[in-house]
Homo-oligomer: A and B are copies of this chain.
Amino acid sequence: MTSLRPADPAFLDALAARLPADSLRPAEERHLEEPRARSRGQAAAVALPRSVGEVAEVVRAAHAAHVGVVPYGGGTGLVGGQVMPDGPAPILLSLERMRAIREVFPDENVLLAEAGVTLADVQAAAHAADRLFPLSLASEGTARIGGNLSTNAGGVNVLRYGNARDLCLGLEAVLPTGEIWHGLTRLRKDNTGYDLRNLLIGAEGTLGVITAAALKLSPIPRHVGTALFSVESPAAAIQLLALAREAVAEGVSAFELIHRQGLDFLAETLPDLRQPFDETPEWCVLIDLGLGAGQAPEEVLTDLFGRALDAGISRDGVIAQSEAQRQALWSVREFIPEANRRIGSVSSHDISVPISRIPAFISAGWAAMSRLDSSLRINCFGHLGDGNLHYNVFPAKGRKRADYDALRGDVKRIIHDLVADYGGSISAEHGIGRFKVDDLERYGDPVKLAAMRAIKQALDPHGIMNPGAVLASA
């Protein structure tokens, strides 16, 4: 890979001359911040294109001049993919002006959105056409769909509807040479060559810039229902999931594991939030159903609870009887990350392991952490149906994150080593960005890493696209 050059005034002037008047500006503070303040970006300028043609103009110029380009969506990524802290000053390429819903095809269950549309606006446009766009995650009001696709975002409905990549039929994108790939098809079957779409999805802007996407919609489920059931153990939670899926298959939209530590953190930091159980169980799961004709969620959930009780899987349960109760149950799950933030973790891990190994993994994690420092508290929760746990380690009550600075590296290393031992992933949904580049080098398959480098070199010979993200710069 050739070495990059900074975007100097001569480059910026020449680029500005090829774009409409206000397309190139100094980067604003919001473009350089990192959500958890763990890093700070730098950029010679921010480009604000209004069309794929203007995006291509920027990338073409950067390719010719060997200048780095950092694509920028909503800025909500948690691994530093949108923030380049050092190296030759790049151009930040923000998609914020490309926010048209180009067209909706309810008959096809397809929506065409530009990369800068927020996830919430995509959801709203689908809803207006009486359809569902099921990708759903905490930052959906700010995150933009281009970023969601570039990072293959996950969230709470992956169990039923898949990750972002599973919700995309076609892409329009600018490749690192500045050429436009017109791949915005709405086809559900198209076996004409290599899967460039899935190569760009999850590449975190290192192989090109997504400018628009054809997104898959679904029918809105006729009947929805939600319950919170205690479970005797993580293994019991897995059995409960199997029972639920035997009954209604894809009708299980979300299945979230919650540990009592999460409920205790809620009580500690958000005391006004009503606790769901009179007696807080060690483990519980939130089950969300979206059902069809002839199915009554309350009945299905009541029947499921009966079976779970008989099988010794669960002892206590709350089944929502109204939309308000449904929202209240969901609040329990949704406020856990906020409670975590208020406590302040020593180290957080977005990991996955094969579903059947979750119980053993959780036990081994506890044992390892208590060997390291028995005062540590663990809040392990998340998308059980996907094998994706947010495994977060916290200070003892009354102590602070900073008190454990010396331990942080060990905590992370021990958890990640354990994940590797269990055949898991050190980044289930957040991606690699810049913060996990070293982890990928350590835990990634070397043959896959070599193939990734070869592909990067082939498509981006000057290494201009999101330098230093995913793969270490040469």
Instruction: Give the B-binding residues of A (Cβ under 8 A).
Output: 105-108, 110, 151-152, 154, 158-159, 162-163, 165-166, 175, 179-183, 185-196, 198-199, 201-203, 207, 218-219, 221-222, 238, 242, 245-251, 290-296, 299-300, 303, 352-356, 383, 385-388, 423-432, 436, 440, 443-445, 447-452, 454-455, 457-459, 470-471
Contact = CB atoms under 8 A, between A and B. Distances in A.
A249 B450 CA distance: 42
B163 A166 contact: no
Most B C-beta atoms less than 10 A away, residue of A181, A189, A303: A189
Contacts of A436: 192
A193 to B, nearest CB: 5
27 contacts: A105-B355, A108-B354, A154-B191, A158-B188, A158-B189, A159-B188, A165-B198, A181-B451, A183-B445, A186-B354, A188-B387, A189-B383, A189-B425, A190-B352, A191-B427, A192-B426, A192-B432, A193-B432, A193-B448, A193-B449, A199-B455, A219-B245, A249-B250, A249-B292, A293-B295, A294-B294, A455-B459
Given A189-B158, A292-B248, A356 B105 contact: yes
A260 to B, nearest CB: 24
Contact of A191 (B152, B180, B195, B222): B152
A188 B452 contact: no
Contact of A294 (B296, B386, B428): B296
A355 B105 CA distance: 9
Given A452-B194, A458-B455, A458-B457, A292 B430 contact: no
A182 B352 contact: no
A201 to B, nearest CB: 7
Contact of A249 (B202, B221, B356): B221
A145 to B, nearest CB: 17
Nearest to A151: B191
Contact of A295 (B196, B295, B447): B295
Given A189-B352, A192-B440, A250-B250, 6 more contacts: A183-B448, A191-B202, A191-B430, A191-B432, A195-B202, A196-B451
A293 B194 CA distance: 40
Contacts of A154: 189, 191
Contact of A175 (B180, B199, B447): B447
Given A108-B354, A300-B294, A354-B108, A163 B181 contact: no
B152 A293 contact: no
Nearest to A445: B182
A46 to B, nearest CB: 26
B451 A191 contact: no
Nearest to A454: B458
